Structure 1
């Protein structure tokens, strides 16, 4: 995979988006930043990362003509890839907090942001922004954030983590076809945080309720078993898991 290393940059996702607009990328490309000034997380949040201490990168991956309705399978293979990367580094108690936060026990280790490249209702490629907390020791006002170094007590080479990550991404994207959708979905669901355990959630109105995560729909909605034995599907903006 072609790797581009930059020093300080606003956003690796924006860098790759501009590159794709200019060159119409058709092969995997990775942009890695020593410092990302305006890194973004889900729902417009800011990703906090000290310069040179964490892995902040974006990867363009071409996709072989998937229908846009199957876009959550991209999120699933990315989440599985990052999970497997951290698993290979022996991080304990890993899980995927729906939709795509990677946790070690209850601590957030990685954030993922995916931008789809769509043409006539078909997915032609994606830009995957990934921030993995590697060597950072302190996180301001983020009590649930942690890093590889905090948990395992040793320093990691960022290039080593990147190499494993890119290998896992390419391996998983190679099986991103409708024939493998069932396998991908089962793998993802098996790694879900709090699956089949009573958990507390909050809805859009701020009301809390108890439910049990059962699985997800093919569109990526979270299916929760409620107290009245009804399973209800929730979109990302409709529910928040309160650990």
Structure 2
């Protein structure tokens, strides 16, 4: 299905819209095993995704037809397995750039790859990389963004949406096209070897950067300051007079 609102070179030029699917990531991964290869940049978008997943095996609850739930196929063979987090950075910033004209400086990227408006979660992503040797052969990039949903599952205490923030409905395919175009732009920066440019920009947009807040690790609560993110993706937090690094499941952000 061609769609001319996608102005990029390849991301979104092959758009498949499904009425209902368990997970767009699972659908796309299953499609990869078929004999006919999908073109790079294929986007699978679901009107209703009933088993979407987030980081830490969280389930993503989305009201049918109200939000963006989609996956993009990328083939970043130019990235090594050690550079997987650079793809996370590029995708996060593509989403950020697409939403920034609407939300301005209240928009931030919460490490590793959630999109926050103030202290509320607007969306997130789950990137599943398929390696071949030391390189990334395929990346299945799953993204969920709350757009027109107003009521959320009681467990999603910090969820918000564009509609809750700005009090109006938005065209899903227009925002989808914006996100895809921006992700493609950062992806091509990575392909051109501009990794440091992407890394520096990602840091500048980080939620809680250089601010003192509460965190928890190994059941211990502490006040810390996010200072940086290492090239491989570890979060650097300063507390108790030293800098410590944390992986995804090793630190929890607490409300102040």
User: TM > 0.5 between the two?
Assistant: yes
Distance 1:117 1:89 in 2: 34
Distance 2:249 2:177 in 1: 33
Matched residue, 2:244:
232
Distance 1:151 1:241 in 2: 22
Report how far residue 237 of structure 1 moved.
1.1
Matched residue, 2:3:
none
User: Which of 221, 226, 231 is the equivalent residue of 1:213?
Assistant: 226
Question: 2:239 matched to 1:194?
Answer: no
Matched residue, 1:64:
77
Q: Which region of structure 1 is more displaced relative to structure 2, 85-94 or 137-146?
A: 85-94
Distance 1:164 1:96 in 2: 17
TM-score relative to the length of structure 2 = 0.91
Question: 2:117 matched to 1:104?
Answer: yes
1:83-98 matches, cutoff 5 A: 83-90=96-103, 93-98=106-111
C-alpha contact (below 8 Å) 2:73/2:141 kept by paired residues: yes
Matched residue, 1:185:
199
Q: Where do 4+ consecutive residues of structure 1 move more than 6 Å?
A: none
Matched residue, 1:75:
88
Q: Which region of structure 1 is more displaced relative to structure 2, 78-87 or 60-69?
A: 60-69
C-alpha contact (below 8 Å) 2:78/2:191 kept by paired residues: no
For the residue of structure 1 that corresponds to 2:61, the secondary structure is: coil
TM-score relative to the length of structure 1 = 0.96
Report how far residue 25 of structure 1 moved.
3.6
1:117-156 matches, cutoff 5 A: 117-141=130-154, 142-156=156-170
Report how far residue 143 of structure 1 moved.
1.9
C-alpha contact (below 8 Å) 1:196/1:214 kept by paired residues: yes
For the residue of structure 2 that corresponds to 1:125, the secondary structure is: strand
Distance 1:107 1:101 in 2: 10
Matched residue, 1:7:
19
Matched residue, 2:10:
none
User: Which of 45, 53, 62 is the equivalent residue of 1:40?
Assistant: 53
Aligned residues: 241
Question: Root-mean-square deviation (CA), in Å?
Answer: 1.3
For the residue of structure 1 that corresponds to 2:126, the secondary structure is: strand
Report how far residue 130 of structure 1 moved.
0.4
C-alpha contact (below 8 Å) 1:77/1:184 kept by paired residues: yes
Distance 1:177 1:158 in 2: 28
For the residue of structure 2 that corresponds to 1:209, the secondary structure is: strand
